[in-house]
C-alpha cells in the first residue's frame, strides 16, 4: 500500500495494513478532518477488535467532511472548524466534540533540534505574509539568542485543501497579527500571500521534509510520529511553551462548553502560563433525524465507547480526551437531538 493512501483513508478491518480490502456495507462511514486522523485510526482498530464493527473514515479535510455530511453520503462528518448554531439549525445537524489536540509549526533547518527554535504569532504571521524571508532575519534572531540560524530563504508551506487545521492556524495568526487578519484572515480555506500548498497533513509534511529552509504546520501527533522538528511558541501570557497534552489541557480550562452552541469552542490564543496557543477541538457532525437508525446508533456507540475506553490511546498520541463533565453534556445532547425517522431517540 502506498504511504499516501495509508494516511489519507482508513477502513479498519482485520488490520490497518489490509484496511482497503476489508470494508463492508455494515461499516460506519465518516469523512473530514485530518487533525484527529491518528486517534480515530487507533480507536477504530480497537473498536473493531472489541465489537466486530468497522469504521471507514476518509481523512479528506474539514471542508470536504462538512460537504459530505450535508449531502448525506456519510454517517458522520468531522471538522476542526465548528459550525455556528444557526448553520447547524439550517442543515438539521447536531455537533459534538470528540477530542482535543494541538497544531504545531514544523521546520526543516539543519542543526536545529526539535523544540529549540522559538517563534511568536506575529513573527509567524510575517513569515506567512512574505515580510520575513530569511531564517537569520533580525525578528527571528532576537527570539533565539545563542541559536545558530542559517542565512537561507524561508519556504512557506500551507494546506492546499479546505482544512480545519488551517482554520486553527489562521485563527491564531489573526488573533496575534492585525496585518494577517486584514490581508488573509481566518478560515478553512484562505487566499495565501506566499508559499506552496500541500494536500492534507501528509502533503504539508512531505513538502517541509523535502525543502531545506521550509516551514509548515501540522497536527502534533502527526509531527511527533514522523519525527519532524517542531518549534516552541510564545503564548498569550508571554511564556514560550512546548506542545504536550498538559499544555493542550491548560488551553481548555476556561472553555464554556455548556453555553456555546454546538459546543463550538475555539481554543486558540487562550490565557494561562502553560496554554499551548494553537490548541483545537475536533467535532463530529450528524443529522438530527437519522434515516438509517442502525447506523446512527452505531456511530453514537463508537464515540461513547471512545469517551469511556479511548483515553489511554489518546494520551499515547498526545491528544486530550474530553473531560467527564463535557462527555455528560454530549450524552445529554444525543438524547435530546438524535432521533430516528419516527421521532424516537436513538441513544
H or E stretch at 335: helix 324-337
* 317-345 pLDDT, tens digit each: 989 999 999 999 999 999 999 999 999 99
Residues 6+ apart with CB under 8 A from 24: 54
d(CA 183, CA 196): 18
Partners of residue 241 on adjacent β-strands: 233
> Collapsing DSSP states into helix, strand and coil, what is residue 101?
strand
User: Rounded mean pLDDT of 141-155?
Assistant: 95
The Cα–Cα gap between 35 and 57 comes to 13
CA 236 to each of CA 148, 259, 278: distance values in angstroms, whole numbers, following the listed order? 26, 23, 11
* Maximal CA-CA distance, the chain: 68
Classify the phi-psi angles of 89: left when phi > 0, otherwise alpha if psi is within -120 to 50, otherwise beta.
Answer: alpha
Q: What is the pLDDT of residue 24?
A: 64
Measured in whole angstroms, the distance separating CA 84 from the mean position of its chain's CA atoms is 18
Question: In which region does residue 111 sit, left (phi positive, over 0), alpha (psi from -120 to 50) or beta (all else)?
Answer: left
The pLDDT of residue 126 is above 90: yes
Looking at residue 25, what is its pLDDT?
59
**Banded pLDDT at 13 (limits 50, 70, 90):** very low
Q: How many CB atoms lie within 10 A of CB 236?
A: 17
Helix spans in 24-105 (H): 37-51, 62-70, 85-91
**Does position 47 have pLDDT exceeding 50, yes or no?**
yes
State pLDDT tens for residues 219-271.
Answer: 998 899 889 999 999 999 999 999 999 999 999 998 999 999 999 999 999 99
Q: Cα separations (Å) of 32 from 36, 60, 130, 261, 317?
A: 9, 5, 30, 21, 19
Average pLDDT value over all residues in the chain: 92
Q: Specify the CATH superfamily of domain 103-254.
A: Periplasmic binding protein-like II (3.40.190.10)
For the cut 60, the answer to whether the pLDDT of residue 2 exceeds it is: no
Q: Does domain 3-101+278-340 fall into CATH 3.40.190.10?
A: yes
d(CA 347, CA 336): 9
Phi, psi of 277 (to 5 degrees): -75, -15
Give the per-residue pLDDT at 225.
86
Return the domain boundaries, the chain. 3-101+278-340, 103-254
Start-to-end CA distance of the chain, whole Å, equals: 38
**Closest C-alpha among 102, 101, 70 to residue 83:** 70
pLDDT band at 114 (very low <50, low <70, confident <90, very high): very high
How far is 254 from 173, CA to CA, in rounded Å?
20
Show the cell assigned to 101: 489536540
**Pick from 17, 24, 15, 21: nearest CA to 1:** 17
Paired sense of beta strands 118-119 and 76-79, if any: unpaired
- Distance (Å, whole) CA 9 – CA 188: 20
User: Which of 225, 297, 187, 178 lies closest to 37, judged by CA?
Assistant: 225
Torsion over CA: 220, 325, 28, 291 (sign): negative
Indicate if 103-254 has the same CATH topology as 3-101+278-340. yes
Provide the b/e sequence for 271-296 (b: ≥16 CB within 10 Å). Answer: ebebbbbbbbbbbbbbbebbeebebb
Amino acid at each position: 500500500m502506498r504511504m499516501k493512501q495509508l494516511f489519507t483513508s482508513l477502513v479498519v478491518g482485520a488490520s490497518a495494513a489490509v484496511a482497503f480490502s476489508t470494508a463492508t456495507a455494515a461499516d460506519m462511514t465518516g469523512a473530514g478532518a485530518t487533525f484527529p486522523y491518528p486517534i480515530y485510526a487507533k480507536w477504530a482498530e480497537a473498536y473493531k477488535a472489541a465489537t466486530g464493527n468497522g469504521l471507514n473514515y476518509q481523512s479528506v479535510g474539514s471542508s470536504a467532511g462538512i460537504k459530505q455530511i450535508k449531502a448525506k453520503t456519510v454517517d458522520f462528518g468531522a471538522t476542526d472548524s465548528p459550525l455556528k448554531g444557526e448553520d447547524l439549525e439550517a442543515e438539521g445537524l447536531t455537533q459534538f466534540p470528540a477530542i482535543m489536540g494541538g497544531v504545531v509549526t514544523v521546520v526543516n533547518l539543519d542543526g536545529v533540534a526539535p523544540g529549540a527554535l522559538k517563534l511568536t504569532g506575529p513573527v509567524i504571521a510575517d513569515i506567512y505574509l512574505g515580510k520575513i524571508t530569511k531564517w537569520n532575519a533580525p525578528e527571528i534572531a532576537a527570539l533565539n539568542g545563542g541559536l545558530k540560524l542559517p542565512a537561507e530563504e524561508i519556504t512557506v508551506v500551507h494546506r492546499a485543501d479546505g482544512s480545519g487545521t488551517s482554520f486553527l492556524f489562521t485563527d491564531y495568526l489573526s488573533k496575534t497579527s492585525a496585518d494577517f487578519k486584514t490581508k488573509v484572515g481566518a478560515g478553512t480555506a484562505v487566499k495565501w500571500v506566499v508559499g506552496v500548498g500541500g494536500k492534507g497533513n501528509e502533503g504539508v509534511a512531505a513538502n517541509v521534509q523535502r525543502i531545506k529552509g521550509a516551514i509548515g504546520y501540522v497536527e502534533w501527533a502527526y509531527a511527533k510520529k514522523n519525527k519532524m522538528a517542531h518549534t516552541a511558541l510564545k503564548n498569550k501570557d508571554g511564556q514560550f511553551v512546548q506542545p504536550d497534552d498538559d499544555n493542550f489541557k491548560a488551553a481548555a480550562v476556561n472553555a464554556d462548553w455548556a453555553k456555546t452552541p454546538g459546543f463550538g469552542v475555539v481554543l486558540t490564543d487562550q490565557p494561562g502560563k502553560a496554554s499551548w496557543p494553537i490548541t483545537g477541538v475536533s467535532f463530529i457532525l450528524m443529522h438530527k433525524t437519522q434515516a438509517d437508525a442502525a447506523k446512527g446508533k452505531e456511530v453514537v456507540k463508537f464515540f461513547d465507547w471512545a469517551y469511556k475506553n479511548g483515553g489511554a490511546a489518546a494520551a499515547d498520541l498526545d491528544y486530550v480526551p474530553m473531560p467527564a463533565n463535557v462527555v455528560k453534556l454530549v450524552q445529554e445532547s444525543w438524547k435530546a437531538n438524535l432521533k430516528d425517522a419516527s421521532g424516537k431517540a436513538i441513544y
